[in-house]
Structure 1
Amino acid sequence: MTSVLHNPSTMIDRLIAFFNARDVETHVVGGMVRDRLLGRNSEVGDIDLAIKGDAVALGRELAEELGGSLAPLSVPRGMMRVALPPSGQGDEGDGSNGTIIDLSGYSGDIESDLARRDFTINAMAIPLREWQGDEFSGAVLDPFGGRRDLIIKAIRALNPDVFEEDPGRLLRAVRLSGELGMRIEPDTVRLLMSNAELVRRVSPDRVRDEFLKILAPQGARGRIEALDQLGMLKHIIPELMAAKGVDQPRMHYWDVWGHTLHTVQAAEGVTGGHQNSPVYFCVPWTPDSEAYFAEVVSDGHTRRTILKLAALFHDIAKPQTKTLEPDGRTRFFGHSEQGAEVAERRLTELRLSNRGVDMVSGMVLHHLRPTGMSNDGEWPTDRAIYRYFRDTGGVAVDTLFLCLADYLGAKGPELSHPEWLEHAKMISHVLFTGTREPVAANTARLVSGHDLMSRFQLQPGSHIGFLLETIEEARAAGEIETQEQALELAAATIESQGYSRDGSRASSV
């Protein structure tokens, strides 16, 4: 049988045809209505429908008709999800998402379905058949004053039980406040605070999704502070709580907690282009930088968001590593290494993707590395830069920008522009030296491991890798260019290291 859904040109047209053919009363509800009233008419990707009937049976039919998959959201509450694959052909792997259609069934009237929702601004509906019309605004059903709250920019809970019914709504309130630029009204704030502990009952996947959405838009620092003040952050990243009140050396304006929040804020700034700002104009920003930080890399989120997540974790181990030296100086020995372990453990529990966990823990581990490459005020050598990019791999550039944000987050209002300019120039030097196309990238090695073993009568072992890496470092730094020079360097290295044939060190060395 040919499906009636093959002819309409848009997804809404397809859905209208599907439900009209079955004479099912259907309404568009939730965020889609809210966003249309706000003029946020983005491409349809998530559609929330309330249907008078059996959502399970109709969802099964709809998934079959559209070629999607069916998954239960809450069978007792009659909620199902139909997920459709991305449109288009090919396997570009561009991270594009398909359409999600959530169905909630009801047996009484549409008001009974709306009464089960979270906030007034999400408890509005438009009959599906009216959605495409020019007079859609007049068709809005709004029994709880959602349009009023849109006008006054207030997020208001529908009833005192909304968070007990679904604790995930706790995070959604903060996320919507940031996304929509709306305030949470006082009674709802009190509800959030009294129910904050319920966030521990939310599945890790959902916490991850909501938290990343809270972190993603501009203004993440304020939303993190809101999560803390509402009593939720301590249940999401409990290790951060120890940062409060931990003093730092005079080079830092804030304590560890304040520094962490301001580094998150600075991470937005350094990845936002020059912004006609004397501070951010110093940042090494090129036409390719925006595309780089807009790349989707983990759980549907960009490098920019993952960088902010790394900023949140970068000093998380300072409290437990703080020591006071005999000369009075405060030190945090090992906080990068321990912080990387904390990040890996916590983000794995939150089910961040393996790539995301590796990126954040890698940035935390190496966030001091760019500054540490300088020697007595001299800029890093080409060899040091080569080793940095080798060791940091896919987050080399990201870590440089974290270093910039870390610097700004340390100085705060005491920022010295000449000193900041010099720091930014050093980072620019590392960035452009490390990302220029190396000669070795498109050519074979000057010598192979077999060449070394044959020439110097060596046996296989880790010393062969060491020699090859030494040669590649010298080549990347422009110190050698030919096979003969590579062999001369190998001979000198063997002599200086005192290697015997099997790679062991001579006893006299």
Structure 2
Amino acid sequence: MFRALPEPIHELGRLFEEAGQELALVGGPVRDAVLGRSSADLDFTTSARPDATEAILRRWTGGGAIWDMGREFGTLGGSRDGLKVEITTYRTESYDPASRKPQVAFGDTLEGDLSRRDFTVNAMAVRLPSLELVDPFDGLADLAGALLRTPVAPAQSFDDDPLRMMRAVRFVSQLGFSIEPATAAAIAALADRIAIVSAERVHDELVKLMVGAHPRRALELMVDLGLAAQVLPELPALQLELDEHHRHKDVYQHSLTVLDQAIDLESPAGSGGPCEAPDLVLRLAALLHDIGKPATRRFEDGGVVTFRFHETVGARMAAKRLKALAFDKETIKAVSRLVELHLRFHGYADAEWTDSAVRRYVTDAGPLLQQLHRLTRADVTTRNRRKASGLARAYDELEARIDELAAKEEIGRIRPDLDGNRIMALLDLPPGRAVGEAYAFLLEERMEHGPLGEEEAERRLRQWWADRSEE
């Protein structure tokens, strides 16, 4: 399988050998090749110190691009024929307990370098140009067993670099692996160490987890091992104690099921369809849509359990948590808006909406309409087939009405029939508050009655202004 590496990579190995240095492909690319997966990364480790690596890279690239921003850590990169490589000198590391940043020292052996890797499945290497597989920690066996295990004692590994605990659950999502019991126990014991890791690094791992193939399994592990309590405490908080009569559903399991069902409603990757997999915003909204329930739970007379306004409370909580996790403003805005809107449809299921209500639904959703469609459908987890079928039919009808209105008018971007300049000209007004109020009046008329046309819009505007002036 490694003979299929591009010829320039074999040549790179020969250049290092001629210089009396060792070179090995290492980590994820080796793991992925064994699994039959392609990898865009080509990471190498070498016995050569940075100056020697640079000299060999210059020969290999033939004057092409070389970058050395990681030189102090022993890492240099280069490109040739569209191939990008990064080469790092063998390293040994020690850690300050108050920081996950290592104190880097160059090492002397490939085996020593591999021992500092996060998991045995990433602690394999292929020597170049000989293509000898080096596997000192039985990574192949762990790959075959789909098992995550650390090369050294797990407590030492996670204490040295707590981010590895997030990487463990991320690989569960991406690769479908399980975590070896002693490794899982060490995560549970050291979960609070994740607090020393920057929000940006945790964010990166969480995103990779959420867009992986098995996010539910990974999230359940995060909760079970105590990582979620540190990183995403709103998730374990959903494990509300059920009342003895089970008058409300298990919010935690419901949320995970909604996530699964939302993923099932994504368009296939590469299809160009709406909500193309993996849709991070949809998945986050599905996971977080009910996080306002613990804060709003009330026990009413007769044992009835209510969660009034949990959607608005949840929207604020989602925004706060995503901001703390260093998500970008657009993602925060989109996810919190979907959380806020996720119950809106239930008014339609109870009583058919007017065209005006349908317009407002579409306008409020804006560019998130397709994600709202899928979140609303995914939020049905009842075991009552009759109820589930009724809700599905009602939403089918709502989508049909949206399509019908869209065919008649620009329902996706509703604007008043007159713009601000026309309003000022008709009413002889300068820019100011009165123009905004007139615009809001016309927008309300457009929502309520659909397109009016300029003549009718002008008539209604003049009448509104005359009535307003008499007040």
* Fold similarity call, TM over 0.5: yes
TM-score normalised to structure 2 length: 0.81
1:153 aligns with 2:146: yes
1:38 lines up with 2:7 in the alignment: no
* Correspondence list, 1:211-226, <5 A: 211-226=206-221
CA spacing shift, 1:237–1:20, aligned 2, 3 Å: same
**CA distance 1:145–1:328, change in 2 (3 Å):** closer
1-structure distance, mates of 2:403, 2:328:
29
Q: Is the 8 A contact 2:31 2:121 kept in 1?
A: yes
Out of 64, 67, 82, which is 2:65 matched to? 67
**Which SS does the other structure have where 2:129 is aligned?**
helix
- Alpha-carbon distance, 1:225 to partner: 0.7
Counterpart secondary structure, 1:407: coil
Partner of 2:136: 143
Instruction: Indicate the SS of the match to 1:499.
Output: helix
State the shift of 1:29 in Å: 0.7
Match of 2:259 among 255, 264, 269: 264
Distance 1:306 1:382 in 2: 28
Count matched residues.
447
In 2, Cα distance between equivalents of 1:10 and 1:248 = 65
- Partner secondary structure for residue 101 of structure 1: strand
Answer yes or no: is 1:343 the counterpart of 2:325: no
Q: Following superposition of structure 1 onto structure 2, how do residues 41-440 of structure 1 map, counting pairs within 5 Å?
A: 42=38, 44-55=39-50, 58=53, 67=65, 69-72=67-70, 75=72, 78-80=73-75, 82=77, 101=86, 103-106=88-91, 107-130=107-130, 136=131, 139-160=132-153, 161-247=156-242, 254-271=249-266, 291-294=273-276, 302=278, 304-326=279-301, 329-372=304-347, 374=348, 376-378=350-352, 380-408=353-381, 411-412=382-383, 416-429=387-400, 432=403, 438-439=409-410
The question of 1:483 aligning with 2:430 is answered: no
Once residues 481 and 162 of structure 1 are traced to their aligned partners in structure 2, the CA distance between those partners, rounded to angstroms, is 68
For the 8 Å contact 2:14–2:128, the answer to whether it is kept is: no
Contact 1:114 / 1:124 at 8 angstroms: preserved in 2? Answer: yes
Structure 2 vs 1, CA of residues 11 and 181 (structure 1 numbering), >3 Å: closer, same or farther? Answer: farther
Q: Mind listing any 5+ residue stretches in structure 2 that lack a counterpart?
A: 92-106
TM-score when normalising by structure 1: 0.75
Cα–Cα, structure 1 residues 152 and 369, in superposed 2: closer, same or farther, change >3 Å?
same
Contact 1:447 1:486 in 2 (8 A): yes
Amino acid corresponding to residue 152 of structure 1 in structure 2: G
- Aligned-pair CA distance for 1:366: 1.8
- Structure 1 unpaired stretches of 5+: 1-7, 88-97, 131-135, 274-286, 296-301, 501-505
3-state SS in 2 of match to 1:291: coil
What SS does the corresponding residue of 2:42 show, helix, strand or coil? strand
Letter in 1 for 2:200: D
What is the CA-CA distance between 1:24 and the residue it aligns to? 3.5
Q: Kindly state the Cα deviation for residue 20 of structure 1 after the two structures are TM-superposed.
A: 6.0
Kindly report the root-mean-square deviation, in angstroms, between the aligned alpha carbons of the 2 structures: 3.8
- The question of whether the paired residues in 2 share the 8 Å contact of 1:30 and 1:124 is answered with yes
CA contact (8 A) 2:349 2:394 kept: no
CA drift of 1:152 comes to: 2.3
**Counterparts in 2 of 1:81 and 1:288: CA distance versus 1, 3 Å:** closer
Conserved 8 A contact 2:223-2:235? no
Q: Provide the C-alpha distance between the structure 2 equivalents of 1:66 and 1:35, rounded to a whole number of angstroms.
A: 28
Is the CA contact (8 Å cut-off) linking 1:120 and 1:146 kept in structure 2? yes
Q: Partners in 2 of 1:383 and 1:249 — Cα distance?
A: 42
CA 314–239 in structure 1, closer or farther in 2 if over 3 Å, else same = same
Report the CA distance between 1:17 and its aligned residue: 7.3
